[in-house]
Amino acid sequence: MNAYNKAIIYDDSCPLCVWYTNQFVRFGLLQEGNRISFAELEGKALATQLDMHKSKHEIPLVDLSGGNTIYGLDSLLDILAQKLPVLPRLINISPVRAFFTALYKLISYNRRVIVAAPKSCHTFDCTPDFNAHYRRIYIAITTLVAILLWGMYSQFFLKSIFLFFSIAGLVLLPFSFFLTIENQETRLAYFGQVATTCLIGGLLLLPTPLLSLWIEVPLGLCLINGGLSSAMMWKEWRRRKKVIDC
């Protein structure tokens, strides 16, 4: 069955979902009319082909001829197979499939933390259910990467293992302020947003170690890079905190 006779239904209140489904259209994997937001779906007969609860966690690909709707990783593979027909066979090898299924769930359950998108104001709220397991995994991975990035940056102005652990402590310090929050979902929401903010700050520090591959980076340039990263982290955290509190 031609994938152009299928429509992907995406969460239009999630910038990440908007972006990657737009790439499907841009690269000719879908026509614009075969990319439908949940807001456009309201009141249409097409909605009867969906498991609405499942659609919050796994993006659906609806068969416009009335066939079965497929979800999540299967829907993405179905679309990508148009240009990469060998891809489904490779992904469906058991251990590979298990890895990408877990990765898909990790991103899906945490997509509102990754991009800090507010809840949808439409009739159907696409916000994924809270999943403590995948939230903790996301926080652990994101925090570890942030610490490593900050550690890479720190070596350019003070080559000290003590400084590395100081940076790690600085990254982890905001977490301590939310340990007293009793509600687990709220507590992990804050932790997730802090971890993502720290990761963004770490990524913004990459120019210093990358530039060092070609030149000896002056201390002043290191400090400017660190100052800009810190300013952007503060701005991003204020934005993300509003999303949690709203």
Please report, for the chain, the start and end positions of each structural domain, with discontinuous segments joined by +: 3-114, 132-245
Tens of pLDDT, residue by residue, the chain (246 residues): 444 588 899 888 888 888 999 999 888 888 888 898 888 877 677 778 888 889 889 999 998 887 889 999 999 999 998 888 899 999 999 999 999 999 999 999 999 899 887 666 555 677 888 999 999 999 999 988 988 888 788 776 655 555 556 655 665 666 666 666 778 888 888 889 989 998 998 899 899 888 888 888 787 888 888 888 888 988 988 888 887 766
Query: How does DSSP assign the chain, residue by residue?
Result: --GGGEEEEE-TT-HHHHHHHHHHHHTTSS-GGGEEEHHHHTT-GGGGGS-HHHHTTS-EEEETTS---EEHHHHHHHHHTTT-TTHHHHHTSHHHHHHHHHHHHHHHHTHHHHTTPPPP-SSS--PPPP-HHHHHHHHHHHHHHHHHHHHHHHTTT---HHHHHHHHHHHHHHHHTTTT---HHHHHHHHHHHHHHHHHHHHHTTHHHHHTTTS---HHHHHHHHHHHHHHHHHHHHHHHHHHH-
